[in-house]
Amino acid sequence: MIIIGERINGMFNDIGEAIKNQDPTAIQEWAVKQLEAGANYLDANVGPAVEDSPEVMKWLVEVIQDEVDAPVCIDTTNVDAMEAALEVHKGTAMINSVTAEPSKLEAILPLVKEYEAEVIGLAMDKTGVPKDSATRTAKAMEIVANVDAHGIPMEDLYVDPLILPVNVAQDHAPEVLETIKQVKLLADPAPKTVLGLSNVSQNCTNMGLINRTFLVMAMAAGLDAAIMEANDQEMLDSIATAEIILNNDIYCDSFLKQFRK
């Protein structure tokens, strides 16, 4: 399971303040903390407090990588900001995200190719989030075909089938699980799959429980990665357990500990 730590996001007050004041302290603290917990990537989103400009995104990537040696998941809809961040990023970055809209694909995929980055493809277009699995899969297929046409390795694509909160869009969750299964059949080698996990429990009670239960179900369907709270220990226990039950990791009595190494 590839864990993309979600915490460096301007919608959290401490990060929002840090970005506004150009003070890297909180950002760098969270970078270290998430990696120590087991995150593989650090999502970086400037949030609603400041303008999503190339300068801010670039600064954010730089202050993160000044502190830690880890790839950043560049989370923005602004193509200029993506490019500015890619220019300064060290190692293999992840772009979050592109949709199946032709204009987006044409603007973003050449960047992904040029910088040898990875990319998250949202299974939607400008008409919004599809309701059923078949439409989600069709949107994913459009992204898959374009990624292939741009000469980007299929393993570098992470398809996000888009989970919605279970309290208001309950019928979406099973469709998302089915989409994860279908996406794995679209190409060989298969594209990877990713979820913005915390979305499933927005404004629900027992958010942690909902998150980790859904993640285990999604892993059983073939999920490869999640943007999630990397410091949620119960979540990590659930992932470690699922990896054992899926026969991805070899069992040992100390599997919870081994998973964190």
Partner 1 sequence: MGLTGLEIYKKLPQTNCGECGSPTCLAFAMQLAEGKAELSECPDVSDEAKAALDAASKPPIATVTVGAGNYEREIGGETELFRHDKTFFNETGVAVAVSDEEDVAAKVEQINALSFERVGQDIEVDMIAVTNDSGDADTFVEAVQTVADNSERSLILVTEDSATMEAALDIVADQNPLLYAATADNYEAMTELAKDNECPLAVKGEDLDSLAELTKKVDYEDLVIDSGARGTSEVLRDQTVIRRLCIKKKFRPVGFPTITFTTKEDPQEEVMQASTYITKYAGIVVLSNTVELAEMLSLLTVRQNIYTDPRVPVTVEPNKVYEVGEPDENSPIFITTNFSLSYYSVEGDVSASKEPAYIIPIDTDGTSVLTAWAADKFGGAKIGEILTEEMDIEDMVDHRKLIISGYVAVISGKLEEASGWDVIVGPRESSGIPNFISNRWESELNE
Q: Which residues bind partner 1 (CB under 8 A)?
A: 137-138, 141-142, 144-145, 148, 154, 185-188, 190
Q: Six-digit token pair at 231?
A: 């410091």
User: Which of residues 172 and 184 has its CB atom nearest to partner 1 in the complex?
Assistant: 184
User: Which of residues 96 and 137 has its CB atom nearest to partner 1 in the complex?
Assistant: 137
Q: CB 141 → partner 1: shortest distance, Å?
A: 5
Backbone angles phi, psi at 59, to 5 degrees: -60, -45
Q: CB 174 → partner 1: shortest distance, Å?
A: 18
User: Which of residues 89 and 136 has its CB atom nearest to partner 1 in the complex?
Assistant: 136
User: Which of residues 43 and 101 has its CB atom nearest to partner 1 in the complex?
Assistant: 101
**How far apart are the C-alpha atoms of 240 and 245, rounded to whole Å?**
9
**How far apart are the C-alpha atoms of 158 and 191, rounded to whole Å?**
6
Q: CB 187 → partner 1: shortest distance, Å?
A: 4
Q: CB 82 → partner 1: shortest distance, Å?
A: 25
**How far apart are the C-alpha atoms of 241 and 33, rounded to whole Å?**
22
Torsion of CA 209, 214, 217, 223, to 10 degrees: -130
Which neighbouring-strand residues pair with 1? none
